[in-house]
Amino acid sequence: MQRQGICLAAMLMAWHMAAPAQQDPDYGTLVLEYENDLFAGEDRYYTSGVRATWISPDERIPGWVQSGSELVPFFDRRGSRKLSYSLGQNMYTPEDITDSNPPEDDRPYAGWLYFAVGLASETRERVDRLQLSLGVVGPASLADKTQAEIHRFMGSDQPEGWQTQLRNEPALLVSYERQWRTFAGMGDEGWAWDLTPSAGGALGNVFTQANVGLTLRAGRYLPLDWGPPRIQPTLPGSGVFRPRASFGWYFFVSADGRAVARDIFLDGNSFRNSRSVDKKPLVGEIQVGAAANIGRRVRVSYTHVYSTREFDNQAESQEFGTMALSVLF
């Protein structure tokens, strides 16, 4: 294990020294994410998620935040610190959105609107992220109105059952995740690959869970990142990237497993009567996709997700796609 660690450190150092000068953000990184089952030709279950995130440049955070981060026991003291701010909305529907009174053993209608603030500590070998999300589940999330307007714009079937959605409830979520590079390799002319395990968990009335995962990236002039970003509650990725060339790209495949103690979108409201289903305690996902940096300030990615069944009586497993755009300013 000690020899493996020495070899890995040597490869990462060589990778860094061989790379051209990197473009660091002057003001920060804007990340836009869009997840939708439309990419898989479906319109059910986890049907849409959108999130906008602003990530600060390395170490450009208030002094009191920097001092407080030293108290976080999971963070590497050598790591560069970043703050992030996110605004997002998720929506969930049953299998048939044209049914005004969906079966009670089908996934309930639900929406989640939230604001999140996160703190990350990153070295070249590891990244730790701690995040607090505050928001609301229920009609106040405006998910019903959002979906209706989108379907009206696209000429799709209108959802008819939002009157059965979960009731209003404040939404609190604290999450932590870690990724680290276990193996990395380089070939000739910029070809490279790396293997990134991950582990984490979440605690709150939205999700309470633990997860482990693994991501394999392979391509040419891989931008230094941790895989494309994904909206919770799934495998982590990174909005921040550091290009090694004016055009770098990679394909990736990921596997993620979650042990779920609570999922409000399946279990229903915490303190009020609402629709609910019997969730499955173990959920798995396979993700495949590609990412590329175009120039030194833009990265685009697409991820296709294959998820196992999340609740009893779920007709089929689910697929959906994710598009993400990161821009350095």
Q: How far apart are CA 163 and CA 143, in angstroms?
A: 12
| pLDDT at 94 exceeding the cut of 90 | yes
pLDDT classification of 24: cutoffs 50, 70, 90:
low
Question: Which residue, chain included where needed, has tokens 């955070």?
Answer: 61
User: What is the number of residues in the chain?
Assistant: 329
Lowest-confidence segment of 181-190, 253-262, 310-319 by average pLDDT: 181-190
How does pLDDT run across 145-179, given as a tens digit for each residue? 999 999 999 888 999 999 999 999 999 999 999 99
What number is the average pLDDT over the span 234-243? Answer: 79
**CATH topology assigned to domain 2-328:** Lipocalin (2.40.128)
Cβ atoms of 289 and 301 within 8 Å: the answer is yes
pLDDT of residue 275: 98
One-letter amino acid of 97: I
pLDDT classification of 233: cutoffs 50, 70, 90:
confident
Cβ atoms of 117 and 131 within 8 Å: the answer is yes
DSSP character string of 141-202:
G-HHHHHHHHHHHHTPPPP--GGGSPPPEEEEEEEEEEEE--EEEE-GGGEEEEEEEEEEEE
Which 3-state string (H, E, C) describes 144-160?
HHHHHHHHHHHCCCCCC
What number is the average pLDDT over the span 77-86? Answer: 92
pLDDT of residue 154: 87
The fraction of the chain above a pLDDT of 90, given in percent, is 78
Q: How far apart are CA 229 and CA 325, in angstroms?
A: 9
Cβ atoms of 185 and 192 within 8 Å: the answer is yes
Question: What average pLDDT is seen over the chain?
Answer: 90
How does pLDDT run across 116-153, given as a tens digit for each residue? 999 999 998 999 999 999 999 999 999 999 999 999 99
Q: How far apart are CA 73 and CA 53, in angstroms?
A: 25
pLDDT classification of 23: cutoffs 50, 70, 90:
low
Nearest to 321 by CA among 283, 289, 284, 282: 289
pLDDT of residue 235: 58
Q: How far apart are CA 204 and CA 241, in angstroms?
A: 29
DSSP character string of 218-272:
EEES--BSSS----TTS----S--B-SSSEEEEEEEEEEEEEEEEEHHHH--SSS
Nearest to 296 by CA among 80, 29, 54, 18: 29
Sorted by sequence, the CB contacts under 8 Å of residue 84 that are 6+ apart come out as 53, 54, 55, 56, 116, 117, 118, 119, 120, 131, 239
Lowest-confidence segment of 170-174, 230-234, 266-270 by average pLDDT: 230-234
pLDDT of residue 236: 63
What number is the average pLDDT over the span 86-99? Answer: 96
Q: How far apart are CA 219 and CA 75, in angstroms?
A: 29
Q: What is the dihedral of CA 308, 314, 316, 320, to 10 degrees?
A: -60
Nearest to 45 by CA among 96, 116, 3, 112: 96
